[in-house]
Amino acid sequence: MTSNLFSLDGKVALVTGGSRGIGKMIAKGFLEAGCRKVYITARKAAACDATAAELGPNCVSIPVDISTVEGCHLLVKRYLEHEDRLDILLNNAGAAWGAPFEEYPESGWDKVVDLNLKSPFFLTQALHETLKKSGTHERPSKVINITSIDGIRLNPQETYAYHASKAGLIYLTRRMAARLIEDNIVMSSIAPGAFASDMNRVARDQGDEVARRIPSRRIGTDEDMQGVAIYLASRAGDYVVGETIAVDGGVALAQLGV
**Is there a contact between 50 and 56 (Cβ–Cβ < 8 Å)?**
no
Q: How far apart are CA 220 and CA 229, in angstroms?
A: 14
Does the active-site annotation cover 104? no
Q: Given 104, 162, 231, 239, which residue is catalytic?
A: 162
Q: C-alpha distances in angstroms, 45 versus 21, 52, 61, 108, 182?
A: 16, 11, 8, 23, 36
Q: What is the C-alpha separation between 31 and 10, in angstroms, rounded?
A: 10
Q: Which of 141, 245, 227, 147 is nearest to 187 (CA)?
A: 141
Q: What separation in angstroms does the CA of 206 have from each of 118, 209, 217, 219, 233?
A: 32, 6, 13, 10, 31
- Quote the DSSP letter at residue 258: -
**Strands of 37-41's sheet, edge to edge?**
59-61, 37-41, 12-16, 88-91, 141-146, 185-192, 244-247
According to DSSP, the residues that pair with 192 across neighbouring strands are 247
> Dihedrals φ, ψ of 89, to 5°?
-115, 125
Catalytic residues: 162
